[in-house]
Copies of this chain bind each other. A is one copy, B any other.
Amino acid sequence: MAKAQTANKGVTPRSEDYSKWYQDVIAKAELADYSPVKGSMVIRPYGYALWENIQKALDKMFKDTGHVNAYFPMLIPMSFLKREAEHVEGFAPELAVVTHAGGKELEEPLVVRPTSETIINEMYSQWVQSYRDLPILINQWANVVRWELRPRLFLRTTEFLWQEGHTAHATAAEAEAEALQMLEVYRTFAEDFAAIPVEYGRKSHAEKFAGAVHTYTIEAMMGDKKALQSGTSHNLGQNFAKAFNIEFQDEKGEMQHAWQTSWGMSTRMIGGIIMAHGDDKGLIFPPKLAPYQAVIVPIFRTDEDKALVMAAAKELKGQLGDLRVHLDARDTVTSGFKFNDWEMRGVPVRIDLGPKDIEKEQVVLVRRDTGEKMFVPMAGLQERLTTLLDEIQTALFERAKAFRAANTHMIDDYETFKTQVAGDGGFIHAHWCEDAACETKIKEETKATVRCYPMNAVPEAGSCVFCGKPSQGRVIFAKSY
C-alpha cells in the first residue's frame, strides 16, 4: 500500500497527547523523519520547502540590513574552542570529534562546529587591521552538530540547519545596536512571516550564550503553553576579540580590540510553526511560509468529467501567477481522501473544482484555519485568493496573540506561581531579585525558567516572587522546550 493511503488515518488529537500529536503531524505530513543515526533527522521535501521559504524571507532581511553571506569550514581545531573559557565549558559536552581522517589519526582532533565563533573569529583576526576594515557584517547558512541525548524532531536534533551571523565593529555602541537590530529582525520575521507573536528581551545571566556579554531572545508560546526560544542575538563584547586577537588601529592610531555580535535562527523554527498554529486535525501553515499556499482538488466521477475538470484545473493554476499553488492530480486516491490529506498538511486554502463549478464559472474556497467555505467567481480569483491569504495570515497571528494573552499571568506570590506552573502553565510575569540562586531554586522546584527580561515591559518596583527581595521589574517565567 502506498504511503499516501495511510495518511488518512488522522493524527492523535492535540488535547489528548500533545507530544504524540507533534510526532504524528510530522510523520504523516512527511515533514521529517528520524535517521539511522541517533538524534539526527532527515528533513523531507515538504518540510524542506518550508525551510526554503524561511531562508528566503530571513536572507532578504539580512541583506536589506547590509549583511553578506560567506562560508567557513565545518571542522574546527579543538584548541580553538578552548581559547574562550566560558565557550568551551558550554559546548564541550555536546561536541562530535573527528579523530581520524585520510586513513590516519590526526595530530589534533577536529570538532564538528557546534557554532562558528571560534573559526570565524580566527579568520577575522587575519582580515582586520584598521578601522577601515570594520564593520564586518557576515552571515552563514550552515549545518551544526550538538550531541543530543533526548532528541525531538526540529526542536532538538544532533545536527540542525541554521544561519549564524557574526559581526565585528569598531565601538561597543555599534555592536549593541547590531545585536538589537538583529533581535528586531527576528521579531519581525516571527510575527510578520511565521504569524507567531513573541516576547522579546534579554536573557538572564544563567541562560545567556556561552561566551556572550548578554543574549537577546525571542520567546514564543506553543499550543501547550510552553515557551520556545526561537532566535537569539548575542552581544559578545570583546570576549572573542581578545581570545582570537582581533585588533585594529582606530582613527587616532591606537590599537583596540573589536566589538562583536553573533545571532542565529534554526530549523527549530519549524517546530515552533507546527506547535504555534496546529490543531487537532493537523498542521496549519501561515500563508507567507506555507510550501503550498493553496491546493486545487479536482472533483469528478466520470472519465468525461475528469478530462473536463483536469483541463480547467490546469488552466486555473496557470492563472494564479506567483502564488504557490499545487494541483493534486493523483488518481489513486479519492477527493475525500485529498480533503483530509491537505487539511492535515496545513495548506491555508483548498480550491475545490467540479463540473458544476465550471458550469457556473466558480470555485469553492475552503479556509484551513476556520473551515469556512466560499463560492467565488473564477474571474479575478488571483486577487481574491491573495486577499484571503493575507486575511488568514492576520487571523493566525491574532489567534496566537489572543491565546498567549489568555495564558499570560501576573503572579506575585510563590504558592500561586507553583500552582500555575504545575497546572495550566503559560507565561508568568513575576518579580525576581536577579539573584541566580533564586532562579536556580525556582527551576528546581517548578521546572520554570526565566525566559527573558521583556523589553516592552513598563518598569515597576516589586519584590522577588521567591525571596521577597526588591526587584526592578517583572521577568517572564515559563516551562520551555
Contacts and interface: CB of A to CB of B under 8 A. Distances in A.
Nearest to A141: B141
A60 to B, nearest CB: 12
9 contacts: A2-B129, A36-B80, A45-B138, A48-B71, A52-B69, A74-B112, A75-B159, A96-B102, A102-B149
B48 A70 contact: yes
A133 B30 CA distance: 13
A406 interface: no
Interface stretch (A119-127, A179-187, A203-211, A275-283): A119-127
A129 B1 contact: yes
Given A69-B48, A123-B42, A3 B37 contact: no
A212 interface: no
Interface of A: 1-4, 33, 35-37, 40-45, 47-49, 51-52, 68-77, 80, 92-103, 109-110, 112, 119, 122-123, 126-127, 129-130, 132-133, 138, 142-143, 145, 147, 149, 158-159, 161, 332
B101 A95 contact: yes
B102 A99 contact: no
Given A37-B110, A94-B102, A101-B97, A145 B75 contact: yes
A143 B72 CA distance: 11
Contact of A73 (B42, B47, B80, B102): B42
A44 B70 contact: yes
Contact of A35 (B73, B94, B96, B161): B73
B110 A103 contact: no
A95 B98 CA distance: 10
Contacts of A47: 70
A43 B77 CA distance: 18
A178 to B, nearest CB: 17
B92 A103 contact: yes
A312 to B, nearest CB: 23
B43 A71 contact: yes
Nearest to A51: B71
A110 B37 CA distance: 9
Contacts of A123: 33, 35, 42
A49 B75 contact: no
A93 B259 CA distance: 42
Given A33-B123, A101-B97, A69 B45 contact: yes
Contacts of A49: 68-69
B98 A97 contact: yes
- Do most interface residues of chain A lie in helix, strand or loop, or is the interface mixed? mixed
A58 to B, nearest CB: 14
Contact of A42 (B52, B71, B99): B71
A40 B51 CA distance: 27
Given A2-B133, A112-B112, A332-B132, A41 B101 contact: no
A127 B133 CA distance: 51
Contacts of A332: 132
Nearest to A123: B42
A143 B145 CA distance: 13
B99 A37 contact: no
Given A138-B45, A147-B101, A149-B102, A73 B132 contact: no
Contact of A99 (B69, B74, B97, B126): B97
A37 B73 contact: yes
Contacts of A36: 77, 80, 119, 122
A369 B96 CA distance: 48
Given A98-B96, A119-B36, A147-B101, A42 B72 contact: yes
Contacts of A52: 69
Contact of A129 (B3, B44, B99, B102): B3
Nearest to A100: B97
B147 A73 contact: no
A198 to B, nearest CB: 26
A101 B114 CA distance: 12
A48 B68 contact: yes
Interface centre among A51, A92, A132, by most chain B C-beta atoms within 10 angstroms, is: A132
Nearest to A93: B103
A95 B74 CA distance: 15
A43 B71 CA distance: 5
